[in-house]
Amino acid sequence: MKLVNFTPVRKNGYFLLLLFLSFAFFSCKNEETSKNAEDIKVSREMKAELTSPPNVPKPTGKRKAKKLIVDMEILEEEGEMTDGVKYTYWTFGGSVPGSFIRTKIGDEVEFHLKNHPDNKLPHNIDLHAVNGPGGGAESSFVAPGHETVFSFKVLNPGLYVYHCATAPVGMHIANGMYGLILVEPEGGLPEVDKEFYIMQGDFYTKGEYGEPGLQAFDMKKAIEEDADYVVFNGKVGAMTGDNSLNAEVGETVRLYVGNGGPNLVSSFHVIGEIFDRVYVEGGSQVNENVQTTLIPSGGAAIIEFKIEAPGEYILVDHSIFRAFNKGALAQIKAEGEKNEKVFSGKIQEGIYLPEGGAIQEMPISEEEVARSRPSENPGLAEKMELGKNVYGRTCVACHQSAGQGIASVFPPLAESDYLNEDVDRAIDIVLHGKSGEITVNGEKYNSVMTAQNISDEEVANVLTYIYNNWGNNGTEVTKEMVKAQRR
């Protein structure tokens, strides 16, 4: 009878036992670290570095826990929601979102909250990183011209929202009073090449989207969750054009993304990228290879990805009308060498018209078409301002903020020979659309532009704005010129 050799079985058993004990040890260690964070001793005092979006303070690295002094001022001040539209923001630190706060687990935070004497209302702060009543709101209520000081110890690593919690809470948040506080784990987060701070918010104004002038907050729209603007970092175009985020091919980018709300959930997506890692809801769970991540109102996520190819990457709320019609759109401009193994670019072009050859028209309400202008016969400066507003809501997605267009897809309007040689043709294209091949500055474009169903005044203003920008010939287009091209 042959004896069975049990040695491999015993070895495998020892291995499994060791594996189990190791897992149990590290699990207990992590649980112990979390439970005993309140016992972490601080080494000395230091002042917190606070940054305005999209900037992020320096990583905490391997530094020990500190007594961290956070000095923040509340400011109520007028800013620009989009071209020609003003809004009175309530802010933490003078920006929307408020200043980014970066801490390390075990830090004892001494928070100095100041309400500027010129402000009209009392405020406070609720930090989701705080373990205590109201997240600090009960201890931080402060009237204009006063300062309050309170303290707390950060116990849980993660990315957390903070916001004003003074009644009516929704109104204070809707006016821009939110931001992010990061609690890094012991040893810090892994190093990356670039870090950016982005926060989505929804805004509710008495006027419709793009209506010029100083707009007041509309409580009825806010209660009905009927947002006029859904934006990143407090305004339309906060991170587009000259304000775009910048990175290099081969760099790893980390985004700290929050959603101040007050109402809408964000479906955050970067067009042309896949998220390598997403710290779900700003916590310890990590998902990999993610296309779009949900960020609840009052929540956050940490997102990491590597830039593989040069070009423009568009950041959007993929509830997509919010991006192209309400402002939830930003850009990362990536410089570097092409990588055709990853992305080759266009290799063939043609026209595809699934609904037939007729040019499709963009729907628009009669109210918007008939919207009155500030003056009956505006001068050049006023027409330029009005035209910039029209451009921002109808043209910028395709032709870009500086009229540069999108290579091989949408022709440039900047220094455009095609545009400058025939103003009547330009008016006709805006009114009636255009399909087929054209040559602009020596480059061929073969696509479709839809008819822009806007008023004669709006056509005149937007073309005047275009002709008087970006190296074009300075033509002033009039309502009469537009009427002559209508058929």
Annotated binding residues for Cu cation, written as ranges, equal: 123, 128, 163-164, 172, 177, 318
Tell me how far apart the alpha carbons of residues 447 and 445 are, in angstroms, rounded to a whole number. Answer: 6
Q: Which residues contact 128 (CB under 8 A, 6 or more apart)?
A: 135, 160, 161, 162, 181, 298
Helix count and strand count (H, E) for the chain: 12, 24
Tell me how far apart the alpha carbons of residues 236 and 201 are, in angstroms, rounded to a whole number. Answer: 11
Closest CA to 301 of 332, 330, 269, 263: 269
**If DSSP codes are grouped into helix, strand and coil, which group holds residue 67?**
strand
**If DSSP codes are grouped into helix, strand and coil, which group holds residue 323?**
helix
Can you read off the two tokens belonging to residue 337?
Answer: 């060498």
Longest distance between any two alpha carbons in the chain, whole Å: 110
Q: Residue for token digits 């805004």? A: 203
Pairing of strands 100-104, 67-82: unpaired
Tell me how far apart the alpha carbons of residues 403 and 424 are, in angstroms, rounded to a whole number. Answer: 19
CA-based torsion, 193, 99, 208, 168: positive or negative = positive
CB-CB contact of 174 with 153 (8 Å):
no
Sort 285 into a burial class: Cβ within 10 Å, 0-12 / 13-18 / 19+: exposed
Tell me how far apart the alpha carbons of residues 237 and 475 are, in angstroms, rounded to a whole number. Answer: 26
Q: Could you count the other beta carbons within 10 Å of the beta carbon of residue 447?
A: 19
The DSSP bridge partners found for residue 102 are: 182
Q: Which residues contact 365 (CB under 8 A, 6 or more apart)?
A: none
Q: Give DSSP secondary structure letters for 187-225.
A: T-SPP-SEEEEEEEEEE-BSSPTT--EEEPB-HHHHHTT
Q: Could you count the other beta carbons within 10 Å of the beta carbon of residue 372?
A: 7
Tell me how far apart the alpha carbons of residues 55 and 312 are, in angstroms, rounded to a whole number. Answer: 19
Q: Which residues are annotated as a binding site?
A: 123, 128, 163-164, 172, 177, 318
CB-CB contact of 264 with 204 (8 Å):
no
CB-CB contact of 221 with 262 (8 Å):
no
Tell me how far apart the alpha carbons of residues 486 and 59 are, in angstroms, rounded to a whole number. Answer: 59
